Structure 1
Amino acid sequence: MPQIVNTHQSEAWNGYEGRHWADHHDRYDQVNGGFNAALLDAAALTAEDRVLDLGCGNGQVTRLAARRARAATGIDLSGPMLDRARALAAEEGVANVTFERGDAQVHPLPESTAAISRFGVMFFADPVAAFANVARALVPGGRLAFLCMTALEGTELGSVLAAMGEHLPRPTGPDGTGPTSFADPDRTRAVLTEAGFTGFGCARVEAEGVWGRDVADAAAFLGEWGPVKYHCDLAGPEAAARAREALTEALRPFEREGAVRLRGSAWLVTARR
């Protein structure tokens, strides 16, 4: 059994949250996949690289990295998502990829020349410990490139989630916690510096994500997303119904070209060991 210290996140990602992501892997990749090219280009992968994908989830980025590199290893807390990642790698015939269940704060990570992550580093209980562990796995001069969420204010997703605010607490919590724990680049720089990284870079990038084929489909999907479902369950059926109605209305302006499309914003962070 792997050593797990981030028990709260382990419970979530091996429970409903992880199963939902595994069962709907294609939909989550449609939401986040627009950022893949920017991440992989920033990592500057070559055919000789050994890549570590942090919080790899269902493994789309791991598989894409493996196609550019000598080998890629994905690490994640979620058993359901790792099972999906292995199945997809086999289905796609990507042989130079492995997946390990572990907590990045303490897991014995394989020696790597590059570490990457698409929205998989925001939930560390102790981010300095996690990134210091990653730094130990990287060879001298090894590269780090990851995507993390910006503040939600002023973004299209932020406006959609805010529409439920009259009926529910904001599902993602205050900026600076949870999914937006690295929304402040100054904090990110401080964490990475303490963990042993240098050459910090941070650029804002945007990409369009597809949340559903129409408003009803997108509202149903977002309504079953773990943080939204959790707060709806706490609020009770009447408040949850009002929140879901508000969510549906907030999504209407974003239906175009046969889909509901929200433009997403992220920080693309780079550094060196």
Structure 2
Amino acid sequence: MPEIVNTAQSHAWNGPEGAHWAAHQDRWNAVNDGFNAPLLDAARLAATGHVLDIGCGAGRTTRLAALRVPRGSALGLDLSGPMLAQARARAAREGVPNVSFVQGDAQTHPFEPGSFDAVISRYGAMFFADPVAAFTHLHAAVRPGGRLALISPADPRRNGWVTAMASLRGILPLGDFGRAGTPGMFSLADPDHTCRLLTSAGWTAVGVEPVEAYGRWGQDAEDAAEFLLATGPGRHLTEQAAPGDLDRARTALRDHLRAHEAPDGTGVRLLSTSWLITGERPPSPLSPR
């Protein structure tokens, strides 16, 4: 495997975090699937296109992209061995022949220059060790005239799962959930910062627009609360909690989530607000526009 420079993220996604996402891929897709269509539409995929999905996880968006390029191909790249094992198994089970998966670091992986028509990512582009280097590297992997399309979280206060976790303040040791422009889940949450970042990496026609979708977090408040506490941020908090505080936190979170149980019995639904981030590699002066 080529050099991994994002060692902290590699450790996390090949440890408990990756194991959790691999085991619960269907639940995470129920949370995030509302962003698939905006992402893939923004990539403007042609039937013969070649697509790179970075931070592909268990491969949901990679497989969907492959279906949009029936005479082309889709490659999913991720740091996580456990998630990629699930991605390969699911692609085989679904019979998607034009998809493949590779374990590697998007910042350093030796892509053939200009070999992709589009780079996409659903929540997989926020954790680069060196974002400018990573997006510059990805820029070189896309052909002139090719596209970039990313889904990335907007401000934490505009996301229902963060509001739910914030209901535990005073019970568990909540800090903030990250700040725009700093490493972490919300590193691309500031549109101005993101535009400057991508422009410095060579992308043009950079756009950042809000997209919203409701995700299903559980079958009822109790189920959703247990799932939220089992996520990476949830585990970080519960591992620091005294037993009595943990019981109080579960009760408080369940109480908060009851207000989000759908009246038709379809589960707990929370609104997520994200950015749809797009860009282009400028066409070559000699290439058709």
TM-score range, shorter chain: over 0.9
Indicate whether 1:267 and 2:271 are aligned.
Answer: no
Does structure 2 conserve the Cα–Cα contact (< 8 Å) formed by 1:2 and 1:101?
A: no
Secondary structure, counterpart of 1:255 in structure 2: coil
Residue 125 of structure 1 corresponds to 129
Q: Is the 8 A contact 1:9 1:123 kept in 2?
A: yes
> Which residue among 93, 101, 104 is the counterpart of 2:103?
101
Mapped pair 1:202 → 2:208: yes
TM-score (normalizing by structure 2): 0.91
Q: CA deviation at 1:171?
A: 7.0
TM-score by length of 1: 0.96
Tell me whether 1:148 sits opposite 2:155 in the alignment: no
The answer to whether the Cα contact below 8 Å between 1:171 and 1:227 also exists between their aligned partners in 2 is no
SS of the residue corresponding to residue 259 of structure 2 reads helix
Partner residue of 2:240 out of 220, 225, 234:
234
% same residue: 52
Which portions of structure 1, spanning 4 or more consecutive aligned residues, are displaced by more than 4 angstroms? none
Aligned residue for 2:150, secondary structure, equals strand
Which amino acid is 1:109 matched to? F
| Mapping 1:4-83, distance limit 5 Å | 4-69=4-69, 70-83=72-85
Give the whole-Å Cα distance in 2 for the aligned partners of 1:224 and 1:270.
32
State the AA in 1 paired with 2:238.
C
Q: How has the CA–CA distance of structure 1 residues 42 and 29 changed in structure 2, closer, same or farther, with 3 Å as cutoff?
A: same
Partner Cα separation in structure 1 for residue 175 and residue 221 of structure 2: 20
Q: Is the 8 Å Cα contact of residues 153 and 186 (structure 2) preserved in structure 1?
A: yes
How far apart, CA to CA, are the structure 2 residues paired with 1:27 and 1:125?
28
Contact 1:207–1:263 (Cα < 8 Å) also in 2: yes
Partner secondary structure for residue 113 of structure 1 = strand
Question: Displacement of 1:190 after TM fit?
Answer: 1.1
Q: Extract unaligned runs of 5+ from structure 2.
A: 282-289
Contact 1:171 1:231 in 2 (8 A): no
CA contact (8 A) 2:158 2:272 kept: no
More helix by share: 1
Q: Look at both structures and tell me which one has the larger radius of gyration over its CA atoms.
A: 2
Output one character per residue of 1:56-104: Cα deviation in whole Å (capped at 9) or x when no partner.
Answer: 0000000000011110000000000000000000000001011010111
TM-aligned CA distance change 1:170 to 1:118, over 3 Å? farther
Mapped partners of 1:213, 1:40: distance in 2: 28
Aligned residues: 273
Instruction: Give the 3 Å change call, closer, same or farther, for CA 193–218 of structure 1 in structure 2.
Output: same
**Distance in 2 of aligned mates of 1:19 and 1:114:** 29
Partner of 2:285: none
2:146–2:280 CA contact under 8 A, matched in 1: yes
Q: 1:136 to 1:170 in 2, by over 3 A?
A: farther
Deviation at 1:166, TM superposition (A): 1.6
Q: RMSD of aligned C-alpha atoms?
A: 1.3
Cα deviation, residue 154, structure 1 = 3.8
Partner of 1:189: 195
